[in-house]
Amino acid sequence: MGKTIFFLVPYPLGKAPSQRFRFEQYFNLLKENGFEFKVHSFYSDKTWDILHQEGHIVSKTIRITTSFFIRFFHLFSLLKYDFVFIHREVAPIGPPFFEWIIAKILRKKIIYDFDDAIWLPNYSESNSSFQKLKYYKKVDGIMKLASKISAGNNYLVDYAKQFNKNTFVNPTTIDTNNYHNPDLFINESESIPVIGWTGTHTTAKYLDFLIPIFEKLNAEFDFEFWVISNEKPLAEFKNMNFIKWKKETEIEDLLKFDIGVMPLTDDKWAKGKCGFKALQYMALGIPAIASPVGINNEIIDHGKNGFLCTTENEWYESIRFLLDNPSEIKKMHNSARQKIIDKYSVSSNETNFLNLFNN
């Protein structure tokens, strides 16, 4: 087994969920097993801070161009490494130029990791100017160049196997011992029930579905709706409490939820998602109510640790049931957390992750 890894990743460390919960939390495991590794992010912290803001076109262009040159010079550092772990892509625009050099010229083993249907166009309006430079089909090319592919769920695996049979499920996981562990925090419950949602501004569009449901529930129950995100959603809800996401307070904020929601549309992009919201809620013992799309069907056991709802009426009835029966929320607590510990925790996936680096 090779013992050196160079991680080429898009985002600064500690910022993006796809990195934090797919491989960053395994860094200590790699060290414990004798691996040496280096990590280089395409976006700097300063670029990341303005990336999804409106405008800043000149600044974004200069910073991204600079990052391209830095990436190129990092290619010379790869020679002494056994594996090159690529998350999503080496560069955000253009064809798989860097990946081709790494595989064909440098002859390095690429471990290619992704957790969304990233071969489909999906972007924020704040960066629509750059989309003409995006080359989504390069994902297929990177898959062909990879030695192994690490995909977040079976839907993604099925797509990847068209191009590379050496593809494996590496689920997005939760550190239920050291991070998403309610026993490590003092949880002061709110005086009224809290329904909560967490996510980035790019997924906030799914909240629109809940507006008529919450309007109907507001006529019967006194509750608050908490949103934890990097930006306040455009959708307006009665009694909505917006909390700016901060890594330092992430768990304490989530623990205020009595019920976690995850609405989705049933489309190809949503099927590729890895159920991260449900994983977070349930790891903390919070029942999850979600759309039965993709991996959500595997994570949530309907009626045991949450509910899977399709229609507006199903969503209304499930939320209403829990608001009307708070004792049921407590009953679901242990079942929800245990499901994540058994199937989607860091500790349950350690061997699977290390196997990515077996020859």
| Model confidence band, residue 131 (pLDDT cutoffs 50, 70, 90) | low
Contact present, 93 and 56 (Cβ < 8 Å): no
Are residues 30 and 111 located together in one domain of the fold? Answer: yes
DSSP 345: B
Residues 219, 322: one domain?
yes
| 39 & 140 share domain | yes
Mean pLDDT confidence for 222-227: 96
DSSP for 282-293?
HHTT--EEE---
The rounded distance, in Å, linking the Cα atoms of 86 and 96 is 12
pLDDT class of 135 with cuts at 50, 70, 90: confident
Give DSSP secondary structure letters for 175-234: -TTTTS-GGGS-----SS-EEEEE--TTTGGGGGGGHHHHHHHHTT---EEEEEESS--S
SS3 of residue 135 by DSSP: coil
- pLDDT given for residue 202 in this prediction: 83
* Pair 227, 260 in one domain: yes
If asked whether residues 61 and 22 sit together in one domain, one would say: yes
- Per-range mean pLDDT, top range of 40-49, 185-194, 333-342: 333-342
CB atoms within 10 A of CB 117: 20
168 pLDDT exceeds 80? yes
pLDDT at 126 over 60: no
Predicted confidence at residue 55, as pLDDT, reads 67
| Residues 78, 71 contacting (CB under 8 angstroms) | no
Q: Examine the domain organization and report whether 169 and 188 are in the same domain.
A: no
- Together in a domain, 335 and 272: yes
- Output the pLDDT for position 61: 83
pTM: 0.90
Rounded mean pLDDT, 284-302:
97
Q: Please give the Cα distance from 33 to 220 (Å, whole number).
A: 55
Domain that holds residue 247: 182-343
- Give the residue from 117, 113, 109 showing the smallest Cα distance to 159: 117
Phi, psi of 95 (to 5 degrees): -70, 175
Q: Say what the pLDDT of residue 201 is.
A: 84
Task: Please compute the mean of the pLDDT values over residues 151-158 and round it to a whole number.
Answer: 96
Starting from the edge strand earliest in sequence, which strands make up the sheet with 224-229, in order? 240-244, 224-229, 194-198, 259-262, 288-290, 306-308
Q: What is the pLDDT of residues 330-357, one digit of tens each?
A: 999 999 999 999 999 999 999 999 999 9
Rounded average pLDDT over 72-99: 94
Q: For position 127, which CATH number holds?
A: 3.40.50.2000
Residue 57 CA from chain centroid, whole number: 27
The helix (H) or strand (E) run that includes residue 271 is: helix 268-271
- Does 158 share its domain with 199? no
With a pLDDT cut of 90, the percent of the chain lying above it is 78
Residue 85 burial by Cβ neighbours in a 10 Å radius (0-12, 13-18, 19+): buried
Which of 12-21, 229-238, 315-324 shows the highest mean pLDDT? 315-324
* pLDDT value of residue 98: 96
Q: How confident is the model at residue 40 (pLDDT cuts 50, 70, 90)?
A: very high
Structure tokens at 278: 């449900």
User: Which has more confidence, 194 or 53?
Assistant: 194
Q: Which amino acid is at 187?
A: N
Contacts (Cβ under 8 Å, ≥6 apart) of 249: none
Give, in degrees to the nearest 5, the angle at Cα 34 between 32 and 39.
90
What is residue 236's predicted lDDT score, i.e. its pLDDT? Answer: 84
What is the reported pLDDT for 185? 85
Q: Mean pLDDT across the chain, nearest whole number?
A: 92
Angle of the 346-354 helix axis to the 326-343 helix axis, nearest 10: 20
Number of domains into which the chain is organized: 2
pLDDT at 128: 53
Band of residue 200 on the pLDDT scale cut at 50, 70, 90: confident
Q: 339 and 207 in one domain?
A: yes
Burial code (b: 16+ CB inside 10 Å, e: under 16) for 186-210 equals eeeeeeebbbbbbbebbbbebbebb
- The pLDDT-based confidence of 149 (bands split at 50, 70, 90) is very high
pLDDT at position 121: 84
